Amino acid sequence: QQQQQQQQPPSREFISVLWRWMAQRGDAAELAHWPVLPVAGGKLRLLQQPAQVLQGGDWTEALASALQKLGCCLLDCQLLSQQLHCPALQPFVQQPTAAGVLDALAAVDAAGAAGSNSSTSVQQQMQPRHGEGRSLQQLLQTLSSAERHHLRTYLLQRKWFGAAAGSTTGVAEAAAPASLARDQLQLLRLLPIYEVHQPLPYEDSQQQPQQPSAAASKEGHAMHCALAQAGRPPLLLAPNGVSSTVLGSRFLRCESAAEEELLQQHLGVLRLPMSALLARHLAAAPQQLDQRGLVSSLVHVLQNLQQLAQEDGSLPSVLGDLMLIPTRAAAAARAGQQQQQQQQQQ
């Protein structure tokens, strides 16, 4: 019984008193590598740098679930409500910003590579953390489609990208966070959280790379990829006015024009010119594309040709050279081919 009492972790009351004492000292270095940092779920984390613990933020349920699946922990802000801003705590927590989340994920990846173990439980003095020994890319495969969506929505907010992505007045808010650093932007590109359009029929027949960084989640009919993927061409933004039914898995599906702008300005995503889309994409296998989507896209080009040609000088010549407009004869020929194939199968 005495041995069991010695193995009991510290109580919440003790942890609260301890942090009040450390807040007065202004430094917690003496307790470095001790499990005294309370996090959600009644656990204690080691005081470690770089920190994998995130201070309380505006987390949705799906976002909180995603962060915890990725090896991050959420600080028990209720227990440390009086010490949230004390200097002793700051080195061991990340702020609830995009930069803080990305730094916490980088710390998880580094810890996974080193095979570190840094969590304890109130029920058990030392308890392996979720995902121990697994890389960040492996942990990312455990996220649901909704969790990827919430993580992307949180990270791609204008306020995280400095004054350049702020209001049209050009005046930065006094409390606006600094822009993301280069290494943070690179990690943001590597996260498979960006939704792409469903593969076209001829894309399904092509062999897709199965790199960890190129993993896609098909849950809920949504596919998610990273912007930077080994062995695969970069993801693109489609020209405006093109039907989504003729776009394939190389094109991003964005929620708003603001998201597209952030991807272009800060993450290096290119928007494919209309002439290139016609020549390299739509003309590759027009008979396999959704015909209504193809027609509506071509009608948009023809109706706005003068304006589009000012932005893309090669568009008129490309449009004149390509045989893209479906005719009744072509449709009848396709129907005959399909009927002949069905008869051969029978």
pLDDT in tens, 47-94: 999 999 999 888 999 999 999 999 999 999 999 999 999 999 999 999
Instruction: State the CB neighbour count (10 A cutoff) for residue 28.
Output: 23
d(CA 263, CA 256): 11
CA-based nearest residue to 89, from 127, 141, 51? 51
CB contact at 8 A, 294 and 286: yes
pTM: 0.81
CB contact at 8 A, 275 and 309: no
CA-based nearest residue to 208, from 186, 230, 236, 238? 230
CA-based nearest residue to 141, from 192, 210, 98, 101? 192
**Would you give the end-to-end CA distance of the chain in angstroms?**
77
pLDDT band at residue 328, thresholds of 50, 70 and 90?
A: low
Residue with tokens 């939704």: 195
Give the rounded percent of residues in the chain with a pLDDT score beyond 90: 59
pLDDT in tens, 165-224: 554 444 444 455 678 999 999 999 999 999 999 998 877 655 443 333 444 444 456 899
CB contact at 8 A, 151 and 188: no
62-84: string of b/e by CB count within 10 Å (b at 16+)?
Answer: bbbbbbbbbbbbbbbbebbeebe
pLDDT in tens, 264-283: 999 999 999 999 999 988 88
Phi-psi label, residue 178: left if phi above 0, alpha if psi -120 to 50, beta otherwise: beta
Q: Is the pLDDT of residue 4 over 60?
A: no
State the greatest distance between any 2 C-alpha atoms of the chain, in Å, as a whole number: 90
Q: What pLDDT, on a 0 to 100 scale, did the predictor assign at position 241? A: 95
